[in-house]
Amino acid sequence: MDEFSFINSIKQNSYKQPSLVKGIGDDAAVFRSEKDIVTAVDTFVEGIHFSRETMSPFQTGYRALAANISDLAAMGAMPAFYLVSVVIPKTWTLKEVEEIFSGMKELARYDHMDLIGGDTVSGSELSISITVIGLVEKGMARFRHTAQPGDHVFVTGTLGDARAGLHILTDKTSSYINSSYFVKRHQMPSPRSTFAVSLAGIDRITLNDVSDGIGNEANEIAESSDVTITLYDENIPVSDDFQQFPPSFQQEWKYFGGEDFELLGTVAEENWDALARIANDTGTQLTKIGFVSEAEKEPSVYVIIDNRKTRLDKNGYTHLK
């Protein structure tokens, strides 16, 4: 594959977003929106964030865009556009890089996103930098600083699966039940955009996406909102076959495994039923896992395990033992 075919292969022939005035093909892209615009960037480096041993180029692209879309979901925003910069080393063929773009395109098609810009440059290691742009009704972006005492804490889906999938991929010595499920959760995660966007009728909802594990995400919400969050360990949702892994792994993964790209949030008691209805309508597993209370000395996160309350710190599961 030469460079010309490569550029043709990543170029879109038509655009899905009506707000797009000009996509790829000029010095910059142009779009127009009556809505609020939400944007974030994330970079993925080979050997740090992904490895050829555990992911195909297609999956690498898919997952990289999924991680970015998940940030938009955490803001309540509908995905709309993405721009991609790739640093390509000699060890990657253009064909393989094209597969990375195909992986992104696959997810973008599902989410009606348009690729509106990018850059491909040479370098010594593969890195993929994705900027996503989403749209949300004016004033309806969801922030992490809006949690209030009395709120329920909820999470979508099940936790720890992506980390379990990575474990299965790297542990060649054992065999596991339902391994394809866990592996898929790692390689091709599904961000919760539909659910997030469907929450528009609820005035106040606090959202974070579970990229670093709920231990970290809950602490971010607690700090930003200046509240205390208490979780019930027995309520943390895990998938049916999660108990096949060693208990210490389960504890670590469900709190700190990360990259499940589920949504952790808080909502007022009066809006719980509406939330549950939206979850049901969008086919989203929703679990109440705790509550918000006033911060005492400082914002903190606790988890109740076997009637014992333990502090849940960022970046570590040792406190759980």
> Minimum distance between the CB of residue 279 and a copy of itself, rounded to whole angstroms?
20
The interface region with a copy of itself, picked from 53-61, 91-99, 135-143, 305-313 by CB under 8 A, is 135-143
The answer to whether the annotation marks 240 as part of a ligand binding site is no
The interface region with a copy of itself, picked from 93-101, 141-149, 249-257, 277-285 by CB under 8 A, is 141-149
Are the beta carbons of 181 and 161 closer than 8 angstroms?
yes
Q: How far apart, in whole angstroms, are the C-alpha atoms of residue 167 and residue 183?
A: 9
Encoded one letter per residue, x for contact with a copy of itself by CB under 8 A and - for no contact, window 79-118 reads --x-xxxxx----------------------------xxx
Closest CA to 14 of 102, 115, 120, 101: 115
The answer to whether the annotation marks 71 as part of a ligand binding site is yes
Q: Is residue 249 a contact point for a copy of itself (CB under 8 A)?
A: no
Report the relative pairing of strands 78-88 and 114-122 from DSSP bridges: parallel
Among 1, 95, 119, 177, binds a copy of itself (CB under 8 A): 119
Question: Residue 123 or 201: which CB sits closer to a copy of itself?
Answer: 123
Residue environment code for 241-268, b if the CB has 16+ CB neighbours within 10 A, otherwise e: ebeebeeebbbbbbbbbbbbbbbbbbbb
The interface region with a copy of itself, picked from 42-50, 103-111, 228-236, 254-262 by CB under 8 A, is 42-50
The interface region with a copy of itself, picked from 40-48, 55-63, 164-172, 249-257 by CB under 8 A, is 40-48
Encoded one letter per residue, x for contact with a copy of itself by CB under 8 A and - for no contact, window 191-210 reads ----------------xxx-
- Residue 286: phi, psi to the nearest 5? -130, 130
CB < 8 Å & 24+ apart, contacts of 19-22? 19/80, 19/135, 20/81, 20/114, 20/116
Q: How far apart, in whole angstroms, are the C-alpha atoms of residue 303 and residue 231?
A: 5
Q: Is residue 124 a contact point for a copy of itself (CB under 8 A)?
A: yes
Q: Is residue 3 a contact point for a copy of itself (CB under 8 A)?
A: no
The answer to whether the annotation marks 144 as part of a ligand binding site is yes
Q: How far apart, in whole angstroms, are the C-alpha atoms of residue 209 and residue 80?
A: 18
Among 144, 167, 185, 254, binds a copy of itself (CB under 8 A): 144
Sign of CA dihedral 290, 202, 225, 252: positive
Question: Residue 24 or 274: which CB sits closer to a copy of itself?
Answer: 24
Closest CA to 11 of 102, 122, 86: 102
Where on the chain is the footprint of a copy of itself (CB under 8 A)?
A: 21-22, 25-33, 36-45, 47-49, 71-72, 74-75, 77, 81, 83-87, 116-119, 121-125, 127, 129, 131-134, 136, 138, 141, 143-145, 207-209, 224
